[in-house]
A and B are shown apart, each in its own frame.
Chain A
Amino acid sequence: MKNVAIIGIGNILLGDDGVGPYAVRTLEASYEFGPTVQVLDVGTPALDFIDNLIGLDALILVDSVENDRPAGTITLYRKQDILRHGVSVRMDPHSPALAESLLAADMLGIGPKEVLLIGITGDCYDAGCNLSSEVRESVHLAIDCVRAELRRLDVPYFASKQHTKPDIWWAAAVPVN
């Protein structure tokens, strides 16, 4: 079985930057995976992101991106896109950590061969715990991309039998006095 990590990256306190954690938690509530698949919300990692890469055959990232496309657009990036210097795509604060972690893992020979970054173009990154509506509405498309990548990798997954609510604890409304 292939070792796969499906990782949501982003800051849940900064609006659309939180779409990665939001998407993987939604995925986790709807699907079941085998023991070699991990689903993780890692927030905004730095170089310790290398720790998540050890022993992986494939890495699937879900993250917000800044590019010139309309909010909610999904763009797929492969490893060479993430590592290419001078790319016009802007990939938010943990991007240096992501690229450096991938490069360090490569140097050590421990990194994943397959990398897919599912980028969702954000709209608003102001402090706040909610996604903009365009971004929220494209979360299911991002999840479809994760599923397509798993099928391409020949990694099985199943729809959950019991429907659980995604654990998006930060998006709960602020209690009113």
Chain B
Amino acid sequence: MVSVGVFAGLTFGGYSHNLDGMYDSMQADDEDGANLADIWIDNRTTSWSPDQVQSFCNSLEDSLAQSSEMSLDSCEGRTIIPGAMFHGEGDDQEIINSLWHGIPSDANSDRIWMPEGHSKGRVAVANDEIVIDAHVAGALGIEIGSEVTIGAGNNSADFTVVGIGYHPLHVLMAPEGSMFPPDEGEYVVGYLSDSGISRLTGDVLGTSNMIVLDVEGNPSFDLPDTEEYEGDEIDEIKFYVENSLNSTELDARVRDRGQNEQVEVMRQDLEASKRTTIPFTVMIAAIASITIVLSLQRLVQSQSKEIAVLRTLGVERKSLMTGYLIAPVAIGAFGCLLGSLAGPSGMNWMLDFYEDIIGVPIIERSIPISTYATVIIPTMVIVFLSGTLPAWKASRLDPLEVLSGQTEMRVGSNTLRKLTSWMPTTLGLSIRSSVRKPIRLSMTFLAVGISLMLFGSIQMMSAGLEDTLLSGIEDDQSWDAQVFINPDGEGPVLEWAGNVSATSELLIEMPLGSVEDDSGIERIFTLVGLNNYQNGMRQVNLLDGDAPSNDSDAFQVMMDEGAMEFLSWELGDSQTVSINGVETDVEIVGITRGEMSRTMYFLRSDLSDITGINATSVYLDLPDGVEVNTELGEVSVGIVERQDIIDGITSLIGDQTKIFQAIMYLGLLFTIAVMLNTMIMNVAERDFELATLRVLGASTKRLGTMLLFESLLIGIIGGLVGVLFAYGGAVGLAASFSSWQFYVPIVVIPSVAYQLMGMVVLIAVAMTPIGVWRLRRMDLVEKVKDLSQ
């Protein structure tokens, strides 16, 4: 237990320490890093000429130079456009939803990250060169020198792959606005040169729809998952940015790192991964302590006669106490040594795992001495303290009482007698024996509870999350493909749908809603506009209230439960929110469940009135045998298939669960160890009783039944305690993981609770054969001798 505790502590401690460095290496403002921008200014519905960009940059630099101590390292225009990759040949050609960046080869910030040994080739320079993101290159079989055909809008062009690398905005390989990375290879990000993107779009070189700012130094920005506001430094820059946007008449969204979902989501994921390691390590230490206390107490109890003899022979209490204190310290030291030796392997295994999930190399790997110290010193203190009580008890044993057998005499419980007197005597005895030592039993249940908290809380949370998210998209939605379009670009898609007899439905979906919360932090949410929520291709899981209608003067909306909770909004409230920069009053008429990102649902006509956009995509319900094809790809700016999203959710939750699998299995292992320890102690302590019954003629079958009943009783109570702890843990985990970006609802899936209960009962019952085995091996002649002494 000690070695497992130290192993777990070092594994999680080292893991947490090295994860910190993971994004630091990637985002670093040095030759090896990608130099993540500090501010992104963008407008996806327009593009700015090179002069407009230059004018804005000059204005901002001048304002800062005149009025602020801060200055810019760079102000650069970029183009980021959705598109498609045409992968494969002929009938096998696949249209893959994609995103294309135009990054000048001499860019200062938001560069491609090409860590040595973990990437290939170089950045794109010429107008026919492309770097493919390393997350997808393998899945698509793309190598340096491969030729790829890509499209954007109505244009397409061939490019040669010159590099395979990473980008700090695409650690999470999911389309903007989605939290769910599609299956590997189902979403492509590629990095072209500025001339390359110009060739693809047909725009003038330097045309941009995004400006990235790199501020000198590291201005602090607000972390949305904290109570405090840390964004004062970046706010100063943003103030001048807004002024310059106004003066140059550019209309744009301005985001810092805390507001850029693609960066913030991964930071929060990392923080959550790190945060969970502390309670898990504490829980493991707690289980280890309980087990050590119970085992040492049992040791003292079993050695009470020897201790009494030693005391009778004149051995001092101090010597006895020292002896019993040395034992746990020696056990602790040995356990720490084993745990320390295994810790680095555990850490590497976890980091490899995280690396596989995130797809970004973790280059720096080490366990600092301080981590060893913070794991080993508390462990040794816990082990030492765990040994103190049994050692003190050992030194306080009265030799006369022990040798006369008085310590073994006790008076049964009248309450238990009354409660169990109606039962057959053997069953009554089983129950009374099981609860004979309530403190020990409680500690056992506590240890089982904590073990199951480790095991069950993750399972409970992920099962609830999967059920909620999947049932939303599997049961409430019926579309096959979502085809993204440019503004007013729905015509050709609807025509294609008509040609193949597909049913279509227009919708608006864009992450352009925002509102200030009570702390004054701007919260961004996704806007969804559908024709109706009763019989369309996308329905919602309505928790409370009604779907919006256009009967009211105000815009009626539904909001997801996560947003409602974070914003402390109530059903029926009227609120003012910003919709694509337009202040709009809305009335909350419904609360929905099933969205991971914060979402506000409108009727499409209402949202269209506010934004001036008719649709951003088209849902298609395809007849049997019809699939999306190149023709559809060419008239769209990207296609997502519902099945890919379902696979993506399953895969994401599976991946997130996998990272905790080690903890889950540790929890299971602890549950088995704690139950085994308790059952063996129970049986060992009852040698006297069982031998008496055997001598008096009780068959092993009858005694086995008694033990089985006891095991069942302990298993059922332990299981109930375990389920409660697991639920508590799941609530805690969900709270720890939940943020504005990720909201994790806790939905109890009864089957998970039954599984946990069943598992504990099974473990308890599986211990019965050990008791029966001991009974069969019992030498009754020797036992009778013991009973007569």
Q: Do A and B bind each other?
A: no
Chain B residues at the A interface, C-beta cutoff of 8 Å: none
